[in-house]
Amino acid sequence: SGRKSARQPDASFVPNRFPVPSPHPSDALACTFNRIRNGNPWPTVVCEVARSQSLPHILQKTNLFWLAPNRSEDVIVLKLWPWDRRKDTDGRPLRRLTCYKFCRRANLQADQAQGRFQPVQTYEFGTIDRHQRISNGCLAQGMLTVTIAPECVYEGCTPPYPLAENVVIDLFSIQQAIFRYQGQ
């Protein structure tokens, strides 16, 4: 149809076998299954990789689709800006990569209006910034990370959660995977 974007993911992954739900309704896994059975099949955390979409389009899609009421709790957008194939003297791609993290709970607590949520975290994790200057902010593992709280993963479930600690995503690992994919 010639469209460059859609509301469906480019890819999605599900387990080959779903775990057997616990007979105890307070169990977080049972809560997740009940969430689906009760008509809310939305994932609690979404990661959107945007290469061809404009930033205004991504923000609109995030606000009006993913973060609409009773949908997702956290949305992580990885924006891959156009790359002109430039490299530094070490052969490292000079490419701008930006991560925008949205958190429904934090946005509502900050009194942001539904449909006008702003990212709670924004990270430049490429090798150049928006002004095309060399960026040294993400040169090694652990320098830039995004966290997702267990209460966002298990939204609507009663604690204790199977994951007691935050989920930590290392942006350096993602940067390196992007560079490998583009043939560095």
Percent of the chain scored above 90 by pLDDT? 41
Q: DSSP string covering the chain, please?
A: ---S--SS-S-----SSPPPPPSSTTSHHHHHHHHHHTT----SEEEEEESSS-HHHHHHHIIIIITSTTS-SEEEEEEE------B-TTS-B---EEEEEEEHHHHHHTTPPTT----SEEEE-SSB-TTS-B--TTSSTTSSEEEE-HHHHTTTPPSSPS--SPEEEEHHHHHHHHHHHTT-
pLDDT averaged over every residue in the chain:
81
3 has a pLDDT exceeding 80: no
38-74 pLDDT, tens digit per residue, is 555 677 888 999 999 999 999 999 999 888 887 888 9
Residue 116: pLDDT band (50, 70, 90) is: confident
